[in-house]
Amino acid sequence: MILHELISLDVLRVIWWGLLGVLLIGFALTDGFDMGVGALLPFVGKTDTERRVVINTVGPVWEGNQVWFILGGGAIFAAWPPLYAMSFSGFYLAMFLVLAALILRPVGFKYRSKRESAAWRNGWDWALFVGGFVPALLFGVAVGNVLQGAPFHLTDDLLPVYEGSAFGKLFGLLNPFALLAGVVSAAMIVMHGAAWLGLKAEDPIAGRARRIGIWAAGVAFLGYALAGIWLAFGIDGYAFAGEVATNGPSNPLFSEVNKGGSWLAAYGERPWIAIAPVFGFVGMAMAALGLKSRRDLGTLLWSKLAIFGVISSVGLTMFPFILPSATDPRSSLTVWDASSSHLTLFVMLVVTVIFMPLILLYTAWVYKVLWGKVTEDDVTADSGAMY
């Protein structure tokens, strides 16, 4: 037997669907509080020193946290080529905005303190706000559009064709449901950033962050509930029309897909997945209570649980669909027909099993070394801070 045949293709497909979710959740859990801190920066720091404290709570770790984003993009490219081709070509204007906003963060961190000018520093502080808030909002908008289906189809030779003009590709994404998903995402990230500042900063910075975080948690909770109701009664789901070949060829046109019904039918078929939205609601509620009662470490953990629950609820609700087509349901990309080859998935899994534990161990070590609060004395001492 060839080594890679020890694990069947359908199992490898599910494993890589799960690993993609792990990478996206890992990005939201780590880089999420970086973005949340950036979004909070102009509002929780009233003086230049306070804003330096805020920046230095994430300064030593933000670059490492972005590894999860890079790994997620690499996993999509290698494990799900049709998804990469469709999303990175059809959504390229939106992707450009996200990347432009993300680029503002390293530039802002590096250049903010190069001049003593208050106007100069204030301008970079708002650039850091954009670098934190805009990606958080647009990531949610993307999820909202995925749940509704993207306007694309595949030709007979599997060439993806995104329908609409270039500007339509961008502004067409800004529909009401997608914007609601964006608000949930942004509020959740702000909540996460507030939980981080409560843990890493002192009053009055931490107190201001907690007050904003409580409101953000409330917005995220109500928006998530509204999105669930909207998804149940106002958004069509997708389902296979017949038997599915889970070990079949990587050809979306090989299967028949129907659009209609509700995405939430998945909870009737697999009741256990209801644990995901429960985690989301409980995490947000407990994070709000933790922010109010100043239980900082517990609050950060509850915030992480909320993010885990919300993101995993989307993946579990849609499974096995990963990018439905609104205009040609048959072209929809699923776990069973949009993956790389059996050998590719196996080799990638072996590499992941070797290197993922190393990444996790190194990350844990970094956070252990950097444990503790950042104070004004830290950023004004002769030894200085990073920013």
Contact 123, 115 (CB under 8 A): no
Cα separation of 237 and 258, whole Å? 9
Average pLDDT (233-261) is 86
pLDDT in tens, 84-103: 888 877 778 888 888 899 89
**Total Cβ atoms within 10 A of residue 160:** 21
- Closest C-alpha among 202, 192, 200, 206 to residue 60: 200
Cα separation of 387 and 133, whole Å? 20
pLDDT in tens, 186-208: 999 999 999 999 999 998 999 99
Residues in contact with 130: Cβ distance below 8 Å, sequence separation at least 6, in sequence order:
101, 104
SS3 helix, strand, coil % of the chain, rounded to 5? 75, 5, 20
Structure token digits, residue 376: 């004004």
Cα separation of 39 and 55, whole Å? 11
Cα separation of 176 and 182, whole Å? 10
Task: Characterize the bridge pairing of strands 321-323 and 152-154.
Answer: unpaired
The alpha carbon of 151 is separated from its chain's Cα centroid by a whole number of angstroms, namely 22
44 burial (CB, 10 Å; 0-12 / 13-18 / 19+) is: buried
- The SS3 assignment for 376 reads helix
pLDDT in tens, 159-175: 888 876 556 566 778 88
pLDDT in tens, 327-378: 889 899 999 989 999 999 999 999 999 988 988 898 888 888 888 888 887 7
Mean pLDDT is lowest, of 2-11, 100-109, 208-217, 255-264, for 2-11
Residue 168: predicted pLDDT:
58
pTM for this model (two decimals): 0.92
DSSP string across 97-143: HHHHHHHHHHHHHHHGGGS--HHHHHHHHHHHHHHHHHHHHHHHHHH
